[in-house]
């Protein structure tokens, strides 16, 4: 499959722009790949020993697993072409099955009417419908909170069952303090009516990303895409410096001029693309006003602890992942990598599960050692009863700091002046989940990296801040299928 993604690059002087990219996650790696492919001098700096960021793939117990569940899906033709250019034929289509674990029962997500009715029981189902009706006719005040937004769309009772516990585990704050913008980005077109319609139609004509029932997945794991990008970046003359963290970016008269590495070395550049955490980058930006630096330090990121368990059973449960809505369990999600593609596990007969725990740096859980965390995961997976009596053969802990940008209520009032200031700094682009403080999916970050690179190549200034703000309209729409790209 050859689906080249070409950019028309006029032979102007700016093509020789010496560019630094900070961070090798999906956004940064894409930017470096596109720049190098188009003949731009690029150095990429990554603090860890691998590319891919949160979308990397690692090997455990002779199997491949991702850093949590990662599915790729986009309607954007530019993103899909680029992804296929890198993946070639080395991907499979995965049928998605995800369910919610609540009250020791499994609810299909998206909703399947008869499954939900049977699990809730007629009385609780009636309560949910009555609550939904009340929310539609006498809505709660539009106070900007996630709780009121979701309650008005689904009803208070469904909010309590299917949103509250999970969301508060993930973000570490009350849903009253979580900004409605999170719901607007993730579930704004999803409603109880659409979920029921989806159940009755069996998913036909379904365009909502939350309800997508099939997605493309690389044969070498999600990280394969970014490893290949790195390989091609090097072949095209780009440099990738692993285990080389960047300390700060330097500007002069609001023009980015260079960066300083953690070891104190200073390097000059004509343009810098940053995906390092926005709060950290801005707080160290030498010319930024003090009020902008203080605003940046008040932006919070949530950490993730992943506990992998090797289970001596190849057939545990059919889901790709389960959302854990039980308030008595600390974990928030379970992924079963056995249910993705056979290329991940090969001839191995065990199933690798990963249990996700979310916390802040100051939380007791973040301070616990690996043995404590593995034992906690063993205890909690037994309590769910989803592995039956299967033996647990081993455990592994992987920690991700600064994982999720926390959308505290009113966070945009903090972020907006930071955005406005950074727009005045020339030759500096901020991208990615960390860099732009946006709860991106892979496709959002790939698009950010692509557009940032195109801006340098074509000497334009794309509006990177608008990506994943209103991401429903595409220049051209397409989807990836088993046979390749299908335009819509």
Concatenated DSSP letters for 425-438? Answer: SBTEEE-HHHHTT-
Beta strands in 312-408 (DSSP E): 321-324, 333-336, 351-359, 392-405
CATH of 301-405, one of 3.90.660.20, 3.40.50.300, 3.30.1660.40, 3.30.230.10: 3.90.660.20
Tokens representing 440 are: 């991106």
The SS3 assignment for 96 reads: coil
Residues contacting residue 390 through CB under 8 Å, at least 6 positions apart: 311, 312, 313, 316
Rg (C-alpha) for the chain, rounded Å, is 23
H/E stretch holding 339 reads none
DSSP letter at 375 equals H
The rounded distance, in Å, linking the Cα atoms of 432 and 274 is 8
Identify the bridge partners of residue 309 per DSSP, sorted by sequence position: 353, 395
pLDDT at residue number 488 = 60
Identify the bridge partners of residue 405 per DSSP, sorted by sequence position: 301
The superfamily (CATH) of domain 13-91+219-299+410-472 is FAD/NAD(P)-binding domain (3.50.50.60)
Listed residue (189, 211, 275) closest to 471, CA to CA: 189
Listed residue (201, 277, 281, 311) closest to 438, CA to CA: 277
User: Can you list the residues of the chain whose pLDDT is less than 50?
Assistant: 1-14, 189, 197, 199-201, 203-211, 471-475
pLDDT at residue number 476 = 57
CA dihedral of 148, 152, 154, 155, whole degrees rounded to 10: 90
Identify the bridge partners of residue 358 per DSSP, sorted by sequence position: 304
The SS3 assignment for 304 reads: strand
DSSP string, 119-171: HHHHHHHHHHHHHHHHHHHSPPP--SBHHHHHHHHH-HHHHIIIIIHHHHHHH
Listed residue (287, 445, 410, 393) closest to 61, CA to CA: 393
pLDDT at residue number 194 = 54
pLDDT at residue number 1 = 34
The rounded distance, in Å, linking the Cα atoms of 179 and 279 is 19
pLDDT at residue number 14 = 42
The rounded distance, in Å, linking the Cα atoms of 419 and 403 is 20
Domain regions of the chain by residue span: 13-91+219-299+410-472, 98-211, 301-405
User: pLDDT tens for residues 472-485?
Assistant: 444 456 677 777 76
Tokens representing 269 are: 């550049």
Q: Where are the alpha helices (DSSP H) in 336-438?
A: 364-367, 370-384, 411-423, 432-435
Distances (CA, A) of 22 to 207, 213, 282, 428: 34, 34, 14, 11
Residues contacting residue 126 through CB under 8 Å, at least 6 positions apart: none
pTM above 0.75, yes or no: yes
């Amino acid at each position: 499959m050859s689906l080249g993604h070409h950019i028309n690059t006029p032979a102007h002087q700016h093509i020789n722009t010496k560019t630094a990219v900070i961070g090798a996650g999906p956004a940064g790696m894409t930017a470096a790949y596109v720049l190098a492919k188009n003949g731009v001098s690029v150095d990429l700096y990554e603090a860890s020993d691998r590319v891919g960021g949160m979308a990397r793939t690692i090997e455990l117990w002779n199997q491949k697993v991702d850093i949590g569940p990662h599915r790729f899906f986009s309607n954007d033709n530019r993103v899909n072409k680029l992804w296929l250019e890198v993946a070639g034929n080395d991907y499979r289509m995965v049928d998605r099955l995800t369910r919610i674990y609540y009250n020791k029962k499994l609810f299909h997500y998206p909703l399947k009417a008869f499954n939900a009715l049977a699990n809730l029981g007629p009385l609780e189902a009636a309560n949910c419908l009555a609550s939904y009706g009340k929310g539609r006719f006498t809505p709660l005040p539009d106070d900007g909170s996630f709780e009121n937004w979701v309650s008005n769309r689904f009803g208070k009772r469904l909010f309590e069952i299917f949103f509250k516990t999970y969301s508060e585990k993930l973000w570490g704050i009350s849903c009253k303090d979580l900004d409605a913008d999170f719901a607007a980005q993730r579930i704004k077109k999803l409603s109880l009516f659409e979920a029921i319609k989806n159940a009755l139609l069996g998913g036909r004509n379904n365009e909502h990303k939350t309800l997508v029932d099939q997605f493309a997945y690389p044969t070498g794991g999600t990280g394969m895409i970014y490893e290949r990008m790195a390989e091609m970046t090097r072949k095209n003359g780009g440099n990738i410096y692993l285990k080389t963290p960047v300390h700060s970016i330097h500007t002069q008269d609001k023009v980015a001029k260079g960066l300083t590495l953690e070891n104190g070395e200073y390097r000059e550049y004509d343009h810098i693309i940053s995906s390092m955490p926005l709060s950290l980058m801005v707080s160290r930006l030498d010319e930024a006003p003090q009020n902008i630096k203080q605003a940046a330090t008040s932006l919070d990121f949530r950490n993730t602890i992943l506990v992998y368990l090797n289970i001596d059973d190849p057939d545990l449960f059919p889901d790709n992942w389960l959302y854990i809505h039980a308030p008595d369990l600390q974990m928030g999600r379970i992924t079963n990598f056995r249910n993705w593609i056979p290329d991940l596990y090969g001839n191995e007969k065990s199933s690798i599960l990963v249990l996700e725990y979310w916390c802040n740096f100051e939380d007791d859980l973040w301070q616990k050692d690996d043995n404590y965390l593995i034992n906690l995961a063993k205890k909690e997976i037994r309590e769910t009863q989803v592995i039956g009596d299967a033996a647990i053969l081993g455990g592994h802990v992987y920690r991700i700091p600064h994982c999720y940008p926390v959308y505290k209520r009113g966070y945009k009032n903090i972020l907006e002046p930071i955005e406005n200031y950074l727009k005045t700094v020339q030759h500096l682009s901020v991208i990615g989940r960390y860099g732009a403080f946006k709860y991106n999916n892979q496709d959002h970050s790939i698009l950010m990296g692509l557009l940032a690179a195109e801006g340098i190549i074509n000497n334009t200034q794309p509006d990177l801040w608008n990506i994943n703000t209103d991401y429903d309209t595409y220049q051209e729409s397409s989807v990836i299928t088993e046979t390749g790209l299908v335009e819509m």
